[in-house]
């Protein structure tokens, strides 16, 4: 992916955690690779916690450099990367300071990209301040999640930003959509005649999507306690992955064709009502336990968490899609903190053979399945049955494995690197359109309301386990279980 597109990349929240761990390392990797970023492209960091460019570059050396290049840093590339970086000290609460930014970028080349790596409460004030000095024209704006607390607040932000930037200028980022296996899922389905005939209710028994974390809320207790797992992970990441898995073939890979098909899936989700919620939705909260041999505290004792908090740190859902392709196929979504492993994966369980001449083992659930691992190691693995060596017809599970780091010798592109290059080059397909976001909120909001009305505490689970037993019981009712493998 080479470009000669010149750009000025303005990074709000230039000393924040996201900039340190993800954004600046991703831009460095694109710079180091050569040809991905135009030589004339500039990065303008905006923050108030550094006095000048020299102090900011010192911060970058100290805090960002440890997060780049797993195999060591190319010092020549690092030095030339630092030459791209400019710095503007701004108090985001003072709109008059934005004249400093206007003056700093007025002579810099190319398309302007404004990345808002800040809290959502600052999105609208920043956009209005940019417009007040004319910086919204012919520019692109990148918004990080969370975009609102519910449908009403999300619409309020989108309305206000939409008054300043046109929809084609707005890039709502979901980094899971930039992961290599998600891209390969599209290639697998729409580039191979082998899979598309099987990708439907006649051949798929169930689908699981899991995003599990070992970490707790860490230092984000105050934020998380007002958010919870359903808003933090389901409304965006999990529903976006579900829409990618379940979408119809687009007529092309242009931005609106892909996002139109995702939207159709989100609008086809079967609503969860009060009568169903106890059967198809499980919410949990972690208690103390052990993670990799280390004792960890309960959520209720984490700094910033309110006393007797009923915020969920775990969600498991049974989801149905009311359309011709997927009618009757359960999609099981699961996410949580302080679980037994850090893993993100999509599991497609195919139906068993209708009759086995080879014994009962050929009829067991999960004998044929496709596992798309997003993290920590990115792989696609197809499981099937084969005869064991020796006498008799004894079957055993075997797999075909596409390990990207072994098959493709060139380095993989990290999700943020791909998405940032897409912003610079004006590609919207991997970003969330407003109507997608609204459809996701409309489906999630009744669940939030029902939980609030029921006023029941989340089910407890010990840290280091796979969550409440009710999540496993929900799948057992459908004759299946969560795939819980070691990495």
Per-residue pLDDT tens over the stretch 412-449? 788 999 999 999 999 999 999 999 999 999 999 999 99
Same domain flag for 30 and 56: yes
Query: 3-class DSSP state for residue 442?
Result: helix
User: Can you tell me the distance from the alpha carbon of 459 to that of 95, in angstroms, rounded to the nearest whole number?
Assistant: 46
| Overall average pLDDT of the 22-39 stretch | 92
Domain end point (choices 127, 147, 172): 172
Residue 224 lies in a domain: yes
Ranked by mean pLDDT, which of 6-15, 71-80, 172-181 comes out on top? 6-15
Same domain flag for 142 and 242: no
Same domain flag for 364 and 466: yes
pLDDT digits (tens, 9 = 90+) for 314-364: 999 999 999 999 999 999 999 999 999 999 999 999 998 887 777 666 666
- Is the pLDDT at 283 greater than 80? The verdict is yes
Residue 422 lies in a domain: no
Same domain flag for 221 and 339: yes
Number of domains in the chain: 2
Residue 425 lies in a domain: no
pLDDT (0 to 100) of residue 171: 97
Q: In the structure, what pLDDT confidence band is assigned to residue 486 with cuts at 50, 70 and 90? A: very low
Which one-letter DSSP state was computed for residue 243? Answer: H
Instruction: Give the CATH number of the domain where residue 134 resides.
Output: 3.40.50.720
CA 464 to chain centre: 23
Distances (CA, A) of 397 to 252, 331, 358: 37, 24, 14
pLDDT (0 to 100) of residue 487: 45
Higher pLDDT among residues 4 and 76, named by residue: 76
Same domain flag for 166 and 186: no
DSSP secondary structure, 88-140, as one string: EE--TT-GGGHHHHHHHHTTS-SEEEEEE-S-GGGHHHHHHHHHHTTTTTTEE
Residue 341 lies in a domain: yes
Same domain flag for 91 and 15: yes
Same domain flag for 190 and 138: no
Same domain flag for 159 and 222: no
Q: In the structure, what pLDDT confidence band is assigned to residue 187 with cuts at 50, 70 and 90? A: confident
| Overall average pLDDT of the 42-47 stretch | 96
Residue 235 lies in a domain: yes
| Overall average pLDDT of the 66-89 stretch | 90
Instruction: Give the CATH number of the domain where residue 459 resides.
Output: 3.30.360.10
Q: Which residues are catalytic?
A: 237
pLDDT (0 to 100) of residue 101: 96
Domain end point (choices 131, 150, 172): 172
| Overall average pLDDT of the 91-99 stretch | 91
pLDDT (0 to 100) of residue 71: 64
For residue 133, what are the domain limits? 7-172
pLDDT digits (tens, 9 = 90+) for 103-131: 999 999 899 999 999 988 899 999 999 99
Same domain flag for 47 and 161: yes
Which one-letter DSSP state was computed for residue 402? Answer: E
Compute the mean pLDDT over every residue in the chain, rounded to the nearest whole number.
Answer: 91
Residue 468 lies in a domain: yes
Distances (CA, A) of 432 to 233, 243, 374, 424: 15, 11, 19, 16
Domain end point (choices 112, 138, 172): 172
Residue 424 lies in a domain: no
Same domain flag for 103 and 214: no
Residue 463 lies in a domain: yes
Same domain flag for 300 and 379: yes
Sign of CA dihedral 16, 21, 23, 29: positive
| Overall average pLDDT of the 379-402 stretch | 82
Q: In the structure, what pLDDT confidence band is assigned to residue 1 with cuts at 50, 70 and 90? A: very low
Same domain flag for 43 and 158: yes
- Is the pLDDT at 27 greater than 90? The verdict is yes
Q: In the structure, what pLDDT confidence band is assigned to residue 85 with cuts at 50, 70 and 90? A: very high
């Amino acid at each position: 992916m080479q470009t000669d597109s010149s750009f000025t990349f303005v990074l709000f929240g230039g000393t924040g955690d996201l900039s340190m761990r993800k954004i600046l390392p991703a831009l460095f990797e694109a710079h180091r690779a050569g040809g991905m970023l135009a030589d004339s492209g500039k990065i303008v960091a905006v923050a108030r916690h550094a006095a000048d460019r020299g102090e900011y570059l010192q911060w970058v050396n100290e805090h960002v450099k440890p997060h780049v290049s797993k195999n060591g840093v190319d010092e020549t590339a690092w030095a030339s990367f630092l030459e791209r970086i400019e710095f503007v000290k701004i108090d985001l609460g003072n709109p008059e300071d934005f004249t400093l930014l206007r003056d700093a970028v007025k002579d810099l080349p190319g398309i302007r990209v404004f990345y808002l790596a800040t809290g959502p409460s600052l999105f609208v004030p920043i956009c209005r301040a940019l417009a007040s000095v004319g910086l919204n024209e012919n520019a692109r704006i990148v918004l990080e999640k969370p975009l609102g607390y519910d449908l009403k607040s999300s619409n309020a932000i989108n309305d206000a930003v939409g008054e300043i930037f046109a929809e084609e200028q707005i890039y709502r980022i979901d980094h899971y959509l930039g992961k290599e296996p998600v891209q390969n899922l599209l290639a697998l389905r729409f580039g191979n005649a082998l899979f598309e005939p099987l990708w439907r209710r006649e051949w798929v028994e169930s689908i699981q999507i899991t995003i599990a974390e070992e970490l707790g809320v860490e230092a984000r207790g105050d934020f998380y306690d007002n958010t919870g797992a359903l808003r933090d992970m389901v409304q965006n990441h999990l529903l976006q992955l579900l829409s990618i898995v379940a979408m119809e073939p687009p007529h092309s890979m242009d931005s609106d064709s892909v996002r139109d098909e995702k939207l159709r899936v989100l609008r086809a989700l079967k609503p969860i009502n009060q009568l169903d919620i106890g059967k198809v939705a499980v919410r949990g909260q972690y208690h103390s336990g052990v993670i990799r041999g280390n004792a960890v505290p309960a959520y209720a004792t984490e700094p910033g968490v309110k006393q007797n908090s009923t915020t969920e740190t775990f969600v498991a859902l049974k989801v149905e899609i009311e359309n011709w392709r997927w009618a009757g196929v359960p999609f099981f979504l699961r996410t949580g903190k302080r679980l037994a492993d850090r893993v993100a994966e999509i599991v497609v369980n195919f139906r068993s053979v209708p009759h086995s001449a080879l014994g009962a083992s050929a009829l067991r659930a999960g004998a044929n399945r496709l596992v798309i691992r997003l993290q920590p190691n990115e792989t696609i693995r197809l499981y099937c049955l084969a005869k064991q060596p020796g006498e008799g017809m004894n079957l055993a599970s075997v797999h075909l494995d596409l390990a990207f780091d072994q098959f493709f010798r060139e380095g993989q592109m990290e999700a943020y690197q791909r998405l940032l290059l897409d912003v610079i080059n004006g590609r919207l397909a991997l970003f969330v359109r407003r109507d997608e976001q609204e459809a996701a909120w409309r489906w999630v909001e009744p669940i939030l309301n029902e939980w609030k009305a029921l006023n029941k505490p989340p089910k407890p689970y010990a840290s280091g386990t796979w969550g409440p037993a009710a999540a496993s019981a929900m799948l057992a009712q459908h004759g299946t279980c969560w795939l819980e493998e070691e990495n």
